[in-house]
Amino acid sequence: MNINRVVLAGNLTQDVETKEGKDSGKKFCRLRVACNSRRKVGESWEEVPGFYDVTVFGAQAKAAAEHLSKGSLVAVDGRLEWREWEQDGKTRQAVSVVAESLQFGPRTAQAGSGDAPQEPQAETAATDSGGAEDW
């Protein structure tokens, strides 16, 4: 039995990066999510940040590009993906998260236009492609 499941909730460390697939020409998004964990050091506990690369496809990518920015709270449910490539004659490897669903948290003054906190987005990123043909 194999299980490949990741659940993260944290804040974006930078604005959403939109890219286009080399083979498909379809757009997708890359997110960088900061998520803290706690570790005991001596007698006290300290927060240790973790930074995770997340790739989002389809209608969810379109929604992320439209609604998320640096500092936005986001919850990601997805899977790990391992990839390998050649760069400068060396083999490189990376593990990242491929989102299967996203939920957007409330926008705060740090995440957006500087306005007061707003209500959370009413919908999670949709799974149908309504209007997202290029995504």
Please, what are the domains in the chain? 6-104 (2.40.50.140)
134 against 92, higher pLDDT: 92
Confidence bin at 98 (pLDDT 50/70/90): very high
pLDDT at 120 over 80: no
pLDDT at 111 over 70: no
Q: Which region among 5-14, 23-32, 89-98, 99-108 has the lowest average model confidence (pLDDT)?
A: 99-108
The whole model's pTM is what? 0.75
- Cβ atoms of 58 and 128 within 8 Å: the answer is no
Distance, CA of 2 to CA of 79 (rounded, Å): 12
**Average pLDDT, integer, range 86-114:** 82
SS3 letters across 45-111: EEEEEEEEEEEEEHHHHHHHHHHCCCCCEEEEEEEEEEEEEEECCEEEEEEEEEEEEEEECCCCCCC
Q: Which region among 16-20, 41-45, 91-95, 114-118 has the lowest average model confidence (pLDDT)?
A: 114-118
Give the pLDDT confidence score for residue 81 in this predicted structure.
Answer: 95
What do you get for the CA distance between the two ends of the chain, in Å? Answer: 33
